[in-house]
Amino acid sequence: MKERCQSKTLVVIFFQTLIIFVDNSIFRIRNNSFKKKGDELKQLIEETITTILLSRAEPTPEILIFNLTDEILVKNNLYPIDPSIISKIFSELKKSEKFLLDSFNKWWFQNHIQQIDDKIPLTERIKHLLKSQINSSKNFNKKSLSEIYNIVYKKFNSILTPTKNQITSILTEISPE
């Protein structure tokens, strides 16, 4: 009985080791394939940044661009990727003729993009939501900041997620004295 238990343990250890080996091999294969397909990865990241900016319709903080791009790469099963590859791609895109960064490290388009003309900037959409909440709820002024953040995050999530500072700034601007 003791020998059977030991052999089962050895089999389990063997398979766990095999799975780790396979995972590491996949990691190496995946990273090597991106070195060969760097242009494809750069194109995906560029398209992702473009989608983010078009969706938000306003200059967007660099940290959000990075985080949202990571989210898209994970959803496309493109992780793990060597961070130096991503860093290099972002550096190239910062210098490209398509994007610019302002003094606040916000990304925007270098040249006019026609698709943006019809879009309402995210900040304006958040203002509209908060104004309607203030007007429709007699108890809005009794809500905590956390409750207000949750109202906004429920409506604007993923690519549209604003920062807490952005929400607080909007509240300061629109709230009645």
pLDDT of 11: 43
Identify the CA nearest to 120 among candidates 112, 128, 108: 128
Secondary structure of 86-115 as H, E, C letters: HHHHHHHHHCCCCEEECCCCEEEECCCCHH
**Which range among 38-42, 68-72, 114-118, 128-132 shows the weakest confidence by mean pLDDT?**
114-118
Query: Cα 55 vs. chain centroid, distance in angstroms?
Result: 12
Q: How many CA atoms lie within 13 A of 163 on its CB side?
A: 12
pLDDT of 137: 82
Q: Give φ, ψ of 80 to 5 degrees.
A: -80, 145
DSSP per-residue string spanning 140-153: GGGS-HHHHHHHHH
pLDDT of 126: 97
Task: Give me the residue label for tokens 């203030």.
Answer: 134
The domain locations on the chain are: 1-36, 37-112, 122-174
For 9-66, what is each residue's pLDDT tens digit? 444 444 343 344 334 433 343 444 444 467 889 999 999 999 999 999 999 999 999 9
**Which range among 16-25, 129-138, 156-165, 168-177 shows the weakest confidence by mean pLDDT?**
16-25
Cα–Cα distance, 15 to 13 (Å, whole number): 6
- Exposure string for 146-177, b = 16+ CB within 10 A, e = fewer: eebbebbeeebeebbbbeeebbeebbeeeeee
pLDDT of 23: 41
Its pTM stands at 0.74
pLDDT of 149: 95
Residue 107 has pLDDT above 50, yes or no: yes
